[in-house]
Structure 1
Amino acid sequence: MAAIRHLAHRIDTATPPDRDRAVDALRAFAVLGVVLGHWLVTALVADGGELHTSSPLQQLPWLAPVSWLFQTLAVFFLVGGHVATRGYATARAQGTPYHRWLTSRLSRLFKPVAALLTLWTLATTALLLSGTDLATVRTLAKLALSPLWFLVVFAALTAATPLVARLNPLWPLAVVLHVDLLRFGLGAPPAVGWVNLAAGWLVPYTLGAAWTRGELDRPRAGWVLLAAGTAATAGLVVWAGYPASMVGVPGSAVSNLDPPTLAAVTFGLAQCGLALLLRERLRHAMRRPLAWAAVAFVNLSAMTIFLWHQTAMMATTALGLPLGRLPGLHTPPDGLAWIAARLLWLPAFALLLSVCWAAFHAYERGRPRTRSRVVRTRSRVVRTRPSSDRTPPAGARRV
């Protein structure tokens, strides 16, 4: 414990004093919310030699409020828009060309993807050659690759940062409203809804840009977003027939996320308002070295955690198959007993995720021989692993 405290203190003292730790805390909470949400509401049911997905929200719809806690993508896009617009403004001030800035940002997103695609290409091929049921292979591959849709959307919005940096969030919100009117009010083809895949997440992204411009610094902005978003979401669910669950539910006629609906967007506005209101408390909490070290670790490992958390859950499920249909792991999520059992499996999922982290984190941080830094100042470097070079280069780099 003393060693952990010492390392946390080193990370804390090596963090640049002007870094906004609340931004990192919000990003960490958003990533962990998505992970825990998937682990709690996604079930792989073993049935007659075949695996298929199910959800406790399908069998126990009164659990819909659980999805309100763990559907945190809007916060991630809020932080992403804030960081991207701030970074682009800095790059312009330094004379960095747009293509170089964009390449740098996108490389951080897509470097870890190569490892995921390689492993699952090999795994899918091996499963098919071994005679595994095609439906099972499709289920596993879909779950493993499902995080990639988020990266595509996030990359597209990042590339459009110079165009949307000053866009008022009301414009994409209006697009979402009209698309839903066409879909649900005028009987337009369901494919029209996919316009909201960009417009829906553009709303919190442009809110992040407004944060960068200083337009959301007053507490009133957070309260307005929280109150208006909550009221609008409640009205849409109670009177307009939108699903109460803010994540997809297998078998449901309408999903709030696939593609995003107006209810998902207004719910995201409420989340963004709450996030803005919590900034000062988070900054205060992040003064504690242990809390800041944990947040710094999640931020440095964000892509690895996000990309591999589904694989960790499926690996645990596969390893348990020889032992029979284990409650909370292979059984239908149809009661409180399943929920209690699933909570007991979360440490096992985390353990397998740590194995994935150990195996693939190097791809997120760069080549194995490249230095990996948690934080750095001009006179101090804190490393997550030893460097093969004896002398660190001059200059300063911030994470």
Structure 2
Amino acid sequence: MRDPTERRTAARVEAMTPPGRDRGVDALRALAIAGVVLGHWLVTAWVLGPRGTVAVSSPLAFMPELAPLSWVLQTLAVFFFVGGYAAARSLRTADDRARAETAGPARARTDGPARAAAGPAWVRARMGRLLRPVGPLLLVWAGIAAGLALHGAPYATVRALALPALGPIWFLAVFAALTAATPLLLKLRPGVTAASAAAVVLAVDAVRFGLGGPAWLGWVNLAAGWLVPYMLGVGWAVGGLASRRTAVALLAGGAAGAAVLVAGFGYPASMVGVPGAGVSNLSPPTLAAVAFGLAQVGLALLAHGPLGRLMRRPRLWAAVALLNLFTMTIFLWHLTVVAVTALAALRFGAVPGLLTPPAHLSWLPERLGWLPVFGGLLALAGAAAKRLNDRVSRSA
């Protein structure tokens, strides 16, 4: 028998949803963030070292045969793709509204493409939404780092705990930069821009891996690599990528490209970083990650319609809508809750699934047993962030 409270909540969310809401896009965003969170929860580990030190590790470092797990759970390309789509749609709507208010309805209907009439205000509002949750996270980690230092924790331990937990800020910074550039990106040709960005990644990889160029050059790909799916999302928002043939071509071509790069050119099979590995496909992005992202974009386009129809079920839609409400909080805090749990467990020694080497398959079920704890802590973090954001909004 269904819970009446749950049924009423689902009905309330259904009633509050605008008729034109693209639920398929929201479902894609929810799946992308769920993949990122679950992937990080399963491949990020800490192990106890000599003299009470802690080092970051991963089951992929011990069991490379688990690399296909990263092909399923590394969904950042979908996150950027949907982000580009949502930003472009939102800005075009803001432009239309601004022109309607200043020039009258008749001109608003004939004024042509969006010209960033509301661009500066839109960017300020968007940056506030994206960056506001970063402050509390940095304050929490400043307190954790200070407390560990006062208790004599080695610098290596503080670094091993903090760096993975603060890693999402790097990706948020890139996402925020691309979002701020959306008024400019809307003036460009999406396909040409995405192809140009992919060409930059190709050139950088050729210099790094083929010509022995400096490793720091790879960080150029941090912007260029994620611009590819983001710009495809912008193109989707303005009417591109509409045919099923295009989606199939992206899926097949991207998958084939990634397979050739891994099998024939020595790129890592894992689509996430592995501690101790010489090359990471993700930090910074490589051409293999870009090809893999193209395949994900194609799959997302194919799944969009079926997901939209599935979201007509009120209870499913309520869950997805709630997840979308806390996307940035979830993204920023999901590794912090794991690090805090591991930190709290230090006094108990080598706790299975938290502080033991992820060297055997038995580690995975041990880690799975901790997922409800991580989920509960993340829910508490989300509730606290919502209260803080509401307080800031009221005082603004």
CA distance in 2, matches of 1:368, 1:161: 25
**Residue equivalent to 2:102:** none
Q: What's the counterpart of residue 164 of structure 2?
A: 143
Residue 130 of structure 2 aligns with which residue? 109
* Structure 1 residue runs without a partner (length 5+): 371-399
- What is the aligned partner in structure 2 of residue 260 from structure 1? 285
Residue matched to 1:375: none
Counting only pairs closer than 5 Å after superposition, residues 204-283 of structure 1 correspond to structure 2 as 204-283=229-308
Query: Is 1:76 equivalent to 2:79 in the alignment?
Result: yes
Aligned partners of 1:303 and 1:364 also within 8 Å: no
Change (3 A) 1:320 1:35: same
Q: Note if 1:200 corresponds to 2:207.
A: no
Q: Is 1:155 aligned with 2:180?
A: no
Report whether the alignment pairs 1:363 with 2:365: no
TM-score norm. by structure 1 comes to: 0.90
> How many residues are matched?
371
Does the 8 Å CA contact 2:272/2:282 hold for their aligned counterparts? yes
Whether contact under 8 Å (1:45, 1:54) holds in the other structure is: yes
Long gaps (5+) in structure 2: 99-116
Q: Write out per-residue CA displacement over residues 224-276 of structure 1, whole angstroms, 9 at most, x where no aligned residue.
A: 10000000000000001100000000111110011100000000000000000
Give the secondary-structure state (helix, strand or coil) at the position aligned to 1:278.
helix
Distance 1:366 1:18, change over 3 A: farther
Q: Secondary structure at the match of 1:176?
A: helix
Tell me which protein shows more helix as a share of its residues: 2
Q: Is the 8 A contact 2:241 2:247 kept in 1?
A: yes
Rounded Cα–Cα distance in structure 2 between residues aligned with 1:236 and 1:55: 23
- Deviates most, 240-249 or 179-188: 179-188
* Residue of structure 2 equivalent to 1:376: none
Counterpart-to-counterpart distance in 2, 1:365 and 1:249: 38
Take 1:311 and 1:240, find their aligned partners in 2: how far apart are those partners? Answer: 35
- Please give the alpha-carbon distance, in whole angstroms, between the structure 2 residues aligned to 1:123 and 1:316: 12
Q: 1:177 aligns with which of 198, 202, 218?
A: 202
Q: Is the 8 A contact 1:301 1:364 kept in 2?
A: no
Q: Following TM superposition, where does structure 1 have runs of at least 4 consecutive aligned residues deviating by more than 4 angstroms?
A: none
Q: 1:265 to 1:363 in 2, by over 3 A?
A: farther
What letter is aligned with 2:335? Q
Partner residue of 2:21? Answer: 19
Moved more, 137-146 or 258-267: 137-146
> For 2:95 and 2:382, how far apart are their aligned partners in 1?
35
Report the counterpart of residue 98 of structure 1 in structure 2. 119
**Correspondence for 1:66 among 58, 61, 69:** 69
The Cα shift of 1:369 comes to 5.2
Q: Is the 8 A contact 2:166 2:336 kept in 1?
A: no
Could you tell me which residue of structure 2 aligns to residue 189 of structure 1? Answer: 214
2-structure distance, mates of 1:368, 1:97: 21
Contact 1:74 1:268 in 2 (8 A): yes
- Summarize deviations over 1:44-101 as a string: whole Å, max 9, x none: 1122311110000000000000001111110011011111111222222223532111
Aligned residue type for 1:75:
V
- In structure 2, the residue corresponding to 1:45 is in which secondary structure? strand
8 Å CA contact retained: 2:56, 2:161: no
Q: What do the CA deviations read for 1:354-398 (whole angstroms, capped 9, x no partner)?
A: 22222223334563758xxxxxxxxxxxxxxxxxxxxxxxxxxxx
Provide the rounded CA distance (Å) in 2 between the counterparts of 1:86 and 1:357. 26
TM-score (norm 2): 0.91
